[in-house]
Structure 1
Amino acid sequence: MTVHEKTDSAAGQDGAARRGARAPARARRRHAVARFWRQYRSHRGGVFGLAVLTVIAVLALAAPLLAGEESRSVTDATGGALEEPSGEFLLGTDQFGRDVLALLLWGTRVSLMVGLLAAFLSVAIGALVGITAGHFKGWYATVVMRVTDWFLVMPTLVLAIALSTVLARSLWTTILAIGVTTWPTTARLVRAQTLAVESRPYIERARALGGGHGHIMSRHVLPNVMPLVLAQTTLVISLAILTEATLAFLGLGDPTVVSWGGLLQDAREAGAVSAGNWWYIAPPGLAIALVALAFTLCGRAIESVLNPKLGVSR
């Protein structure tokens, strides 16, 4: 056997050994996912919320096929101003003659995108602050938590309005405004969980074996706080969607895109409230409430599965 053949044989054996070592870990993960799904299915509210979110996500992805690009254009509108629901326009038209149902479908994409990205930014900031404050302690934790407390006592909506007013009006401004004002609750929850994790004996053993700050936080603390972060994310998404709708209703959203909050703001400007044009006002408001409720139900169910001590009702 040549040197190259021996090298290839040794490399193949090493690869097989690594795959064999990872197989039990993959099996444990599959078992954990299956167990989580079995417990999650027992929560009727969580299943209902997941079903609603699945339908809404499919509608959002299919909006270009169901509504078409031209449905958002004022110049391409085919209906009359504020027509009542009919066979042609199931939810009536807006003041420009556009189909409200088509606008509602397009608004689904924007509202979900803003909610997901803003929640990701908020939870990422909160998790980073919470883990580092719980790990390093001392003066760093004191300063960081006092800043967190300041954000907690300040009204989130007021801070978001201030940022949206100062910065350019765009979707990214809305995402930034929501993300940097809603992280303190996540930070305090993650810090409390980090302190509990770092009091366990295996953390001391990891330090004694030479584990550095990065190793302990990434390999030991982060996996233990991820369930809490996941549950918190679903709750923050509903808050982000409501905040985005509020900002758009106040005229602080991106005027070039269609969102549920923007539809409510357009309906208010068109006088739909005083004229009783319910088909223009009710659908986006109900959509906002339904999505927020669905995310909240999913978040509560995830919390109950990951932490049965909470005793969340099914």
Structure 2
Amino acid sequence: MSATDQSRPPQPPQQRQPAGAGPGADIEEKAPSRLVPVWRFTVAVLRMPSGLFGVLVMLGFVVLALACPLFIHPSDLSVTQATGPLLASPRHGYLLGTDPAGRSVLTLVLWGSRTSLAIGVMATALTMVLGATIGLLAGHFQGHVGRLLMHVTDWFIALPSLPLAIALAAVLGQGAASITIAIGVTSWTGTARLVRAQTLAVEARPFIERARALGATDTQLITRQVLPNVMPLILVSSTLTVASAILSEATLTFLGLGDPTSVSWGSLLNNAFMQGAVTAGAWWYLVPPGIAILVIVLGFTLVGRAVEHVLNARVQPR
């Protein structure tokens, strides 16, 4: 040993600080996130033929719905101001024919996409909020609160959704708001059960126990640890729920529970049946709204399946 080493005072042994316990560190440990970067996620979805087709269908309908006011005048939707032939088959100037009031069916279908998509997206947002909230709370609080929430969920599952939605829409009155609430209140149960199962799986992982040991509160555990890991499942569920919400909107509107003054795909089908399009053989009045519903539901379903393949590492995209 050299003289320099002997004259140097002994240094106290350095203690290793635990992860997350450094200066200024938060009390909870950061959860490993399963969220995929947006650009990588988008590229992965678009590489799948089904996902690409679904995205193109969704974008096409959204662009048409947003651009409708640019080339459709309110007089084109008015029953009293229509100037076309009555219930005429497709011809020059009327690619999809006309309805019994002389309005262009193509114009009505394009404008109806605005109402149907808006109600579908708003009902899906309400469904996701209710289902995710109840699922997170039921999975995190596994005592009396969790059991009570699951009993309520099972009670809603036992009730037939369509009659319950019809009853709610009839009680709330005709209109887009009542249909949105009816769809959201009757469609959240599946999301709640999925989110609860994923919450239980996430809270069984070691980083949750470490976060609890560091003093993280229930709110911090749910919002910063559990929710980022449950969000991919919510994203997949939302894309699939939009399709079912559009179908439910068309069903309720077809049954006469929608706003009679607004144009939607369900109201077009309702008017076609009520005004004798079936007996008159006016297929151009019945088929276009039905095809529009079929295509948009197929688009959202394909996107949802593609998102599910991308986010689930155990499933290989085909």
Using structure 2 for the length normalisation, give the TM-score: 0.87
**Inter-partner Cα distance in structure 2 for 1:241 and 1:37:** 24
| Cross-structure match for 1:207 | 212
CA offset at residue 29 of structure 1?
Answer: 11
Q: Does 1:122 align with 2:127?
A: yes
Which of 143, 161, 168 is residue 163 of structure 1 equivalent to? Answer: 168
**Aligned partner letter, 1:276:** G
Q: State the shift of 1:210 in Å.
A: 1.1
Q: Deviations over 1:128-170 (max 9, x none)?
A: 0000000011111111111111111222111110101111111
Structure 2 alignment gaps of length 5 or more: 1-32
The question of whether the paired residues in 2 share the 8 Å contact of 1:82 and 1:277 is answered with yes
| Pair 1:244 & 2:249 matched | yes
Aligned equivalent of 1:288: 293
What is the identity, as a one-letter code, of the residue corresponding to 2:295?
A: L
Q: 2:34 touches 2:229 (CA, 8 Å); kept in 1?
A: no
Aligned position for 1:217: 222
Amino acid at match of 1:130: G
Alignment partner, residue 38 of structure 1: 43
| 1:190 is the counterpart of 2:195 | yes
Gaps of 5+ in 1: 1-27
Task: Give % identity.
Answer: 53
1:93 and 2:98 correspond: yes
Alpha-carbon distance, 1:86 to partner = 0.9
User: How do 1:9-158 and structure 2 match up within 5 A?
Assistant: 32-158=37-163
1:107-141: CA deviations, max 9, x gaps?
00000000000001001100000000000111111
1:237 offset after TM fit, Å?
Answer: 0.4
Does the CA contact (< 8 Å) of 2:183 and 2:245 recur in 1?
yes
The structure whose residues are more often helix, as a share, is 1
- 1:42 is displaced (CA, Å) by 2.5
Paired residue for 1:254? 259
Higher relative contact order (CA 8 A, sep 6+): 2
Tell me if the contact between 2:111 and 2:264 (Cα under 8 Å) persists in the aligned partners: yes
Q: Letter of the 1:269 partner, please give it.
A: M
Shift of 1:38: 2.9
Matches of 2:235 and 2:35, distance apart in 1: 18
Which of residues 305, 309, 317 is equivalent to 1:300? 305
Distance 2:279 2:302 in 1: 34
Amino acid at match of 1:241: I
Amino acid corresponding to residue 210 of structure 2 in structure 1: R
Alignment check: 8 A CA contact 2:84 2:102 kept: yes
AA partner of residue 38 (structure 1): V
Matched letter for residue 74 of structure 1: V
SS of the counterpart of 1:205? helix
**Cα separation, 2, equivalents of 1:155 and 1:277:** 34
Cα pair distance change 1:268/1:192, threshold 3 Å: same
Tell me if structure 1 keeps the 8 A contact 2:202–2:226.
yes
1: CA distance, partners of 2:215 / 2:313: 35
Structure 2 residue aligned with 1:279? 284
On the 8 A contact 1:104/1:259 being kept in 2, the answer is yes
Q: Distance in 2 between matches of 1:29 and 1:198?
A: 14
Contact 2:126 2:184 in 1 (8 A): yes
CA distance change for structure 1 residues 285 and 212 in 2, over 3 Å: closer, same or farther?
A: same
TM-score by length of 1: 0.88
Aligned residues: 286
Amino acid in the other structure paired with 2:190: T
How far, CA to CA, are the matches of 1:112 and 1:212 in structure 2? 39
Match of 2:12 in 1: none
Query: Which sits farther off after the overlay, 93-102 or 38-47?
Result: 38-47
Structure 1 residues 156-185: Cα deviation after superposition (integer angstroms, max 9, x where no partner): 111110101111111000000000100000
Task: Compare 117-126 and 146-155 and name the one that shifted more.
Answer: 146-155
Alpha carbons 1:67, 1:105 under 8 Å: kept: no
Q: How far is the alpha carbon of 1:274 from its aligned partner?
A: 1.5
Cα distance change, pair 128–47 in 1 and its aligned pair in 2 (3 A): same
> Does the CA-based 8 Å contact 1:264-1:284 persist in structure 2?
yes
